[in-house]
């Protein structure tokens, strides 16, 4: 077994995912990771979700917490410095621009989106990601292999405390 600790970035899967972000410096991978997790969940709602995917989602949630101004101290320093300078991400806004064209988005929301300033779009995105992050954490805590693995360890309560702290930093 490689790196394995109760904090988000103390395991190999999260570290591998964050290195992708370090290389690309593209926040849209947060949306894609959330989407991948949601698809897995919707495709097999009764199944236990993969521990690696759950760890990667928790790493993506940590990014959202930093964007909300609530870092947890566990994020690699170079990423935290980079994120603190982020007041806007063109790639992430482009993803949301495409999402707003979807038939799944109601007309009122589409009109609001078009009327938003650059700063308002960014606040909307961070808020939407935080809402999604809380929901994904709840799924991880209810039916993930990661939770099952931690339940079998003597550090389960410590891990649970860390995940709940992350959830709180996203508004949950």
Report how far residue 90's alpha carbon sits from residue 54's, in angstroms, rounded to the nearest whole number: 27
The reported pLDDT for the residue numbered 1 is 44
**Cβ neighbours around 126 below 10 Å, total:** 19
Question: Which region among 20-24, 55-59, 65-69 has the lowest average model confidence (pLDDT)?
Answer: 20-24
Name the CA radius of gyration of the chain, rounded.
16
Has residue 3 got a pLDDT over 90?
Answer: no
Every domain of the chain and the residues it spans: 12-87+128-169
Has residue 2 got a pLDDT over 60?
Answer: no
The predicted-structure confidence for 34-45, as pLDDT tens digits, reads as follows: 999 999 999 888
| DSSP secondary structure letter of residue 1 | -
């Amino acid at each position: 077994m490689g790196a394995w600790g109760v904090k988000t970035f103390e395991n190999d899967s999260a570290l591998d995912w964050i290195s992708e972000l370090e290389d690309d410096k593209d926040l849209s991978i947060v949306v894609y990771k959330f989407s991948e997790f949601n698809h897995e969940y919707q495709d097999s709602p009764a199944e236990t979700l993969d521990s690696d995917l759950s760890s990667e989602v928790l790493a993506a949630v940590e990014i959202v917490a930093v964007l909300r101004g609530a870092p947890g101290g566990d994020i690699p320093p170079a990423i935290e410095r980079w994120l603190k300078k982020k007041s806007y991400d063109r790639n992430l806004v482009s993803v949301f621009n495409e999402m707003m064209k979807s038939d799944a988005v109601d007309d009122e929301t589409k009109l609001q989106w078009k009327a938003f300033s650059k700063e308002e779009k960014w606040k909307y995105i961070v808020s939407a990601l935080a809402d999604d992050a809380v929901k994904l954490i709840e799924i991880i805590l209810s039916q993930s292999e990661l939770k099952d693995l931690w339940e079998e360890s003597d550090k389960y309560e410590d891990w649970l405390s860390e995940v709940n702290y992350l959830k709180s930093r996203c508004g949950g």
